[in-house]
Amino acid sequence: MTENRIVVAIDSQEKHRAIDLAKNISDEIFAIKVNWPLILEEGHSIISKLSAFSKVICDFKVADIPNTNRLIAEKVHKDGAFAIIAHSVVGEDSLRAISQVSDDLKLISVVSMSHPGAESFLNPLSDKLIENARKVNSYGLIAPGNNTKFISHIKALDTGMKIFSPGIGVQGGDPVDAIVAGTDYVIIGRSIYLAEKPQDVVADINGKITAALKNIPMS
C-alpha cells in the first residue's frame, strides 16, 4: 500500500470543525498541520485533541534564542505533537535546542518559503539553511511545492531528510508535480479544509499521487 503523502493544513478553523475534519480524513493523510490562527482561537489543547486522530505538525515557524525554542518545543511535545516547524535561519544552536527535547518530537526546518517575498532574503540562503538542518539531524525540510526546481535540487543533495512542500493549490503548486520532483509530503490547506467535501478532494489527490508514483522508477 502506498504511504499517504498529504499533510492537511488547518490554518483557520473553529475547534469542532477541525476535529470533525481530522476524524473524517485521518486514514487518508499523513498528518494535520496546525498554525497560529487555530491555536490563538482554541488554545494549545487543540493539539492533543487532534492528536487523537492524526499526527499533528505544529507550524509555529519558531525563530528565537535556544532557550525560548526549547520551552516551546517542550510544551508542544507535552501536548502530543508529532513535529514542530522552526526557522533554520536562526542558526544551528537554536535548532539543536529543539532537536534535543525528545526523539519523539520531530524537527522540520524551514529552508525556503513559497511566497514572493522570500526571494528577497530567505531563499538565496537555502543551501546554508539546509546545512544547518543537517547538522542537528533535522527530520525534515520545508521546500515550496510551487518551486519544483528547488525541490529537485534538495532531492539531489541526498540529505536523508524528508521534504515537506507547502504552496500547493491556492498558491499555484501542483501536488503531483511536487511529488514527481522529489518531495515526500505535500502540504495542502484551503483547497481541502474549505472544500464542500474535503474527503473527496483528499481521495482525488491521493489517486493522482498514487498513479504518478507508479511511473517513477525505483532508485
Please name each of the domains of the chain with its CATH number. Answer: 6-214 (3.20.20.70)
Task: Return the number of other C-beta atoms located less than 10 Å from residue 14's C-beta.
Answer: 11
pLDDT digits (tens, 9 = 90+) for 158-168: 999 999 999 88
pLDDT, residue 80, reads: 97
Cα-atom radius of gyration of the chain, to the nearest Å?
16
pLDDT, residue 168, reads: 87
In the numeric block, which cell numbers belong to residue 88?
A: 533554520
Average pLDDT over the chain, rounded to an integer:
92
pLDDT, residue 16, reads: 85
Question: Is 139 strand, coil or helix?
Answer: coil
61 is catalytic: yes
The band of 1, judged by pLDDT with boundaries at 50, 70 and 90, is very low
Annotated active-site residue in 15, 23, 33, 61: 61
Share of the chain residues as helix, strand and coil, in percent rounded to the nearest 5: 50, 20, 35
pLDDT, residue 2, reads: 58
